[in-house]
Amino acid sequence: MTHAIEARPQEDVIQIEDLRTAFGSHVVHEKLNLNVKRGEILSLVGGSGSGKTTLLRQMIALDRPVSGVVKVFGQPVHGGSPGRRRALRRRWGVMFQAGALFSALSVYDNVALPLRELRTLPEDLIHDAAMTRLALVGLDARDAAKRPSDLSGGMVKRVALARALALDPELLFLDEPTAGLDPDRSDAFVELLKDLHRQLGFTVIMVTHDLDTLFALSDRVAVLAERRVIVCAPVAQVLTVDHPFIQGFFLGERGQRAQAELAPSRSA
Ligand SMILES: Nc1ncnc2c1ncn2[C@@H]1O[C@H](COP(=O)(O)OP(=O)(O)OP(=O)(O)O)[C@@H](O)[C@H]1O
């Protein structure tokens, strides 16, 4: 299930061109461009209300822009036949904020859900695939029978990640993956994501406010400000940009602490 990232390192899996988004007279994105390369981990940051979640929702075809193009795997996500859109959707996995598990379903049934929705797999294959995904995120058969309400915050995130990985996606969308976790659990989840990314080779697009998560995982960071992506580059390069949002976000007290803490592990 490893995706061949070495073979096509520069291929764009997402291309966003000249995007305009507005809710009534409130313009959120204008002339926004962004490319995401196959195999990279790209973090999306920006002030509150800058349109990060909306952009993520547009990439997975839950929201529509006023104009512009959003292509995933070279295909426009808006428009086309329902069959083509369904086929495209099966190639990505999504982990929303707070896990968004179905509370009435067991852990096992939450993870099996995307596999069942295919309506093509027999139950024994669904079982094997669901248990494999749970093992990937460090959960076992005893956890499979639990309900979401029996789980710790860290376990909810792991189950949500297992479900996002159910269809062996090439592309993973993460909305605030470590929000609400204490520092130890957050570090453990970041390590898990790093390991899985190394093993499985998927591309990640992540919205995060958490600087430790951002520094530990990002190959590139896209900064959303003034309704567009003002810079998309490795974090060291982003830090050199003289923009009030960037200076406040990265170089405030919190940002300097995160950089200092992560400097030894990044240079290792
Ligand atoms: N369905 C909607 N109807 C009207 N306005 C909306 C809708 N969705 C988003 N908005 C507005 O669009 C702007 C961008 O929202 P969005 O949630 O994408 O921002 P964000 O960068 O993710 O913010 P945060 O960091 O606070 O989560 C906000 O001003 C929000 O109020």
Structure tokens at 101: 């598990």
pLDDT tens per residue across span 165-202: 999 999 999 999 999 899 998 999 999 999 999 999 99
Q: Looking at the structure, tell me whether residues 85 and 192 fall in a common domain.
A: yes
Instruction: Give the pLDDT confidence score for residue 186 in this predicted structure.
Output: 92
Same domain, 39 and 73: yes
Q: Which residues are 46's β-sheet partners? A: 224
* Phi, psi for 115 (deg, rounded to 5): -75, -40
Give the list of residues 6+ apart from residue 5 with CB closer than 8 angstroms, or none: 38, 39, 201
Assigned domain for 96 exists: no
129 and 225 part of one domain = no
| Cα–Cα distance, 92 to 126 (Å, whole number) | 18
Q: Write the burial class of residue 198 (CB in 10 Å: 0-12 exposed, 13-18 middle, 19+ buried).
A: exposed
Closest by Cα among 153, 260, 265 to 216: 265
DSSP H/E element including 125: helix 123-136
Q: Is residue 84 part of a domain?
A: yes
Spatial CA neighbour of 188 closest among 221, 219, 216, 147: 216
Of 20, 23, 43, the one to substitute when testing ligand 1's pocket (max ligand atoms within 8 A of C-beta) is 23
Asked if 36 and 63 sit in the same domain, the reply is: yes
Out of 48-52, 130-134, 210-214, 258-262, least confident range: 258-262
Asked if 151 and 181 sit in the same domain, the reply is no
184 and 229 co-located in one domain: yes
Q: What is the pLDDT, as a whole number, of residue 76?
A: 92
Residues 185 and 241 in one domain: yes
Domain match, 65 and 187 both = yes
Which atom of ligand 1 is nearest the CA belonging to 56? Answer: 18
CA distance 40 to 12: 10
Identify the domain containing residue 199 by its residue range: 12-91+169-259
The whole-number average pLDDT for the span 21-31 is: 96
pLDDT of residue 9: 54
**Which of 168, 187, 212 finishes a domain?**
168
**Atom number in ligand 1 closest to CA 46:** 21
* pTM reported for the whole predicted model: 0.89
